[in-house]
Structure 1
């Protein structure tokens, strides 16, 4: 899986850079780490996550509100998400912590971590005002991945995120969309919201000449 990168949510103008582009079944991807080590950069899901031969998981009107002030490190650690469950598509995964690479692009899970989703720490903490973003591959060179069935998720489906305290937060899917990576809706995915919201991102669509899916699949949900 060849790595490509996304910029942070505040770089609204760089829609292409924010598309998840790390989805393919190519061999020879760079090693990385999720929780505690460097993750691969995103190149196919509007945010980090891979997609392979088949549908993927994977990022616009301007929001009306602005993000709330950041919490203290202690609060962040206690409220940070550690697990995601999506009963409708049989997903139960711990969550890696995905930050930024040295070039300010968003980290994504490596192909070896294909069955594990990741939470982008530059977005909101689930349950707080703002858009929390979870990224996952739908396929890697090792086979189907954690978000392989994300495309089957429909409006009204439930997504439960558990934080480090053991508290469960259940979000309800409000919409899904498939977008070209070249027209990734950066503001809609990463921008501020009126309340606590969640986005799930993965790759989707046909493959380009380099072996990467040309689209991203984005699932929107509200607490």
Structure 2
């Protein structure tokens, strides 16, 4: 995908109002920021055909949310779902779909004025945990987390986060870093993950499909 910059994934209005006694969301530790060694033992799964994603699950941090397609804003930044949709995440629909060869991107809010949002706990995710993406073709793409990092907004590494990959990779992004009452969060938490096994066909969810407003 072309190089873009992440939009602010909310500014911490909830923290400004004293939410959770003013405590910010968890941030990744230096241990989680170190990339997991890439092995040549066949652990990487073959890339999948294109198919739009419909839902993201991260069991270890209790994420289970619908996905909607997002594009770019007028200034070329990655757009995000409306902040009032706190349990909705977005995927970059003009780029790679999760499971395809290349780098797929999912982004969501860390909080909104009412409290924690879909990726509030993203900074607590650990290497080796899994991210599951339900796809419209009935498959589930399973990714293993390689690293979880926090980047200052002023030094966001577009090429490292959004650049091409020779296998099926995933980035999950939200706000993070220090919090300023004047400007909000000063960085972004980024999860790096790769496809680890072939998906299995599952029965359609009994949950009603999300309809973006």
| TM superposition score normalised by structure 1 | 0.69
Aligned to 2:115: 143
- Is 1:216 the counterpart of 2:188? The answer is yes
Q: 1:134 to 1:53 in 2, by over 3 A?
A: farther
Equivalent residue in structure 2 for 1:93, among 51, 55, 65: 65
Aligned length: 167
- Distance in 2, matches of 1:203 and 1:86, equals 17
Which runs of 5 or more structure 1 residues have no equivalent in the other structure? 1-8, 12-16, 28-51, 58-74
- Is 1:54 the counterpart of 2:24? The answer is yes
Give the number of the structure whose alpha-carbon radius of gyration is greater. 2
Cα deviation, 1:67-122, whole Å, max 9, x if unaligned, reads xxxxxxxx85xx10011111001111110110123444321111111211111113
Aligned to 1:179: 151
Cα deviation, 1:128-165, whole Å, max 9, x if unaligned, reads 11110110111111210011111111000000001111
SS class of match (1:151) = helix
Cα deviation, 1:193-214, whole Å, max 9, x if unaligned, reads 0110000000112223533101
Deviation of 1:56 after TM superposition, in Å, equals 6.5
- Distance in 1, matches of 2:181 and 2:64, equals 33
- Distance in 2, matches of 1:186 and 1:122, equals 16
- Distance in 2, matches of 1:161 and 1:210, equals 36
RMSD: 2.1
